[in-house]
Amino acid sequence: MCAKKVFVLLPDGGGLRNFVFSSFNRIGNEMGYDITYWSSCAFPIKETFNYNELKIESSSIHPLTHIYSRARKRIELNISRKDFKDEVYDSYKFPLNFKGLKNTLKSLFILFLITLFGSKRGLERLKRKVERFERKNNKYHLCKQQLQEHKPDIVFCTNQRNTQALSALLAAKDLGIKTICFVQSWDNVPKAMQVLETDYYFVWSDLMKEEVLKYYPFIEEKQVIVTGTPQFEMHYNKNLKQSRETFFRNNNLDVNTKYICFSGDDRTTSPLDQHYLEDLAKAVKSLNTKGNQLGIIYRKCPFDISDRYNDVLEKNKDVIRVLNPFWNQIDNRGDMLPTIDDSEMLYNVCEHSEFVTNVCSSTVFDFVAHNKPCIYYNYEQPQLKKGIRDIGQNYKYVHFRSMPTKEAVVFCTNKTQLESLVLEVLSGKISNVEDALKWYKIVVGKTPTQSSKNMWVALSAIIN
């Protein structure tokens, strides 16, 4: 009897850590499945791991797909705002660009599409038009040809938000092949980031399942399967742990210093992020004059290639140690992609830092998996001016309403209190760990160590 064939669709590098660097492949092989990574990303899976890999050579989508998809997102958010009587959905919209003739025409066309298709029925018509566009695309025919040649039993897409996956999934559906997609991130569902429609959906938790059914009523309950996410499995892999002495020696850290991690954000989430790092550096320096021996590990957002932190890092190099994520570009092209070594780096940054500080990042969950606290910055910077996004709106987002209590993080609401908060967290006088673990269970799910296995159990049930 031939092994069932599973195509794991990677429309980008976002699924590498979850489905290539994790135990996902090993578990599937042990269960007897024939796994092929059907990949559009530049990472050399075959050469690195000797896993079966089939490249999707075309990266083209129909010229109108991106524009229609932007209109789709805004229409969905408008519908959510109306249905749930909540203005928060407007804050998920990226501003349209009216700089230059080309951008202006594109934005005006998006506004026209929103007017033309701006209802639930219109939204369905718009989505079907996008599918017709992609079926005319050369990439669709290439993907269909690959599927006809290799005949997989199922196609599992590693995220639901990338238009690069449309052609491949439409080709699979047209050939009668079952399709599944994984909802990649904890905030994706309320943000209207469900670009793809498949036969089944794997989600992190009961909370995320409720959200999928709430925002997409055309999806039936049996189509949504709670599996957890492989994203946090690495934090339970003790083989990644280095001793404090080894980690500090390898990264030029002082073994006698207690380090606080500052986890950087992207420019959209926290456009003035460098000033929060500067505030932390000032607090640490002040505490050091009072008999403490503290330092900062700065781990930047992998996607932030700006120089906005440089001045702060240079002025505070006596207390800040930069430990960049092990992400890079393959052949200096395309998006930043994780490397397998970054899992070990992140594990040990969490393990050997005293706690983490950031602006509303999901790293709160990485650190609480190591029983480490988190401070969220929640005050305006004096550099805030018209045209710069206030970070305060982040905490109004729907996914933060999942907090079981306001103590699930330590909020710093005024920079004048930062120094005292740092000291109180260091001493254990204040901790969010107990409530953060409850939040972690709500968001990440009940079995954070079993997500890859749960996925294969679900895949087996669907295939068979």
At 178, which CATH number? Answer: 3.40.50.2000
Confidence of residue 341 (pLDDT cuts 50, 70, 90): very high
Give the pLDDT mean for 177-198. Answer: 95
- The CA distance from 41 to 193, in Å, is 20
Q: Name which of 376, 323, 327 is nearest 353 in CA terms.
A: 323
- 132 part of a folded domain: no
Handedness of CA 83, 196, 48, 18 (dihedral sign): positive
Assigned domain for 131 exists: no
Dihedral over Cα of 399, 19, 153, 177: its sign: positive
Share of the chain above pLDDT 90, in %: 89
**Structural domain includes residue 430:** yes
**For residue 130, is it within any domain?**
no
Per-residue pLDDT reduced to its tens digit, 276-314:
999 999 999 999 999 999 999 999 999 888 899 999 999
Neighbours of 459 (CB within 10 A): 24
Burial of 61 (0-12, 13-18, 19+ CB in 10 A): buried
Token representation of residue 257: 């210093």
Comparing C-alpha atoms, which of 288, 216, 199 is closest to residue 72?
Answer: 216
- Total domains in the chain come to 3
pTM tops 0.85 = yes
Let me know whether 194 and 84 are in one domain. Answer: no
Both 331 and 430 in one domain: the answer is yes
**369 and 383, same domain (yes or no):** yes
Closest CA to 335 of 5, 39, 41: 41
pLDDT of 97:
93
* CA 449 vs CA 16, 139, 204, 237, 463: distances in Å: 18, 37, 12, 9, 24
Instruction: Express each pLDDT in 314-324 by its tens digit.
Output: 999 999 999 99
3-class state of residue 86 by DSSP: coil
Please indicate, yes or no, whether residues 169 and 266 belong to a single structural domain of this protein.
no
Q: What pLDDT does 333 receive?
A: 57
Q: Which domain holds residue 147?
A: 5-61+137-228+448-463
pLDDT at position 60: 85
Burial of 251 (0-12, 13-18, 19+ CB in 10 A): middle
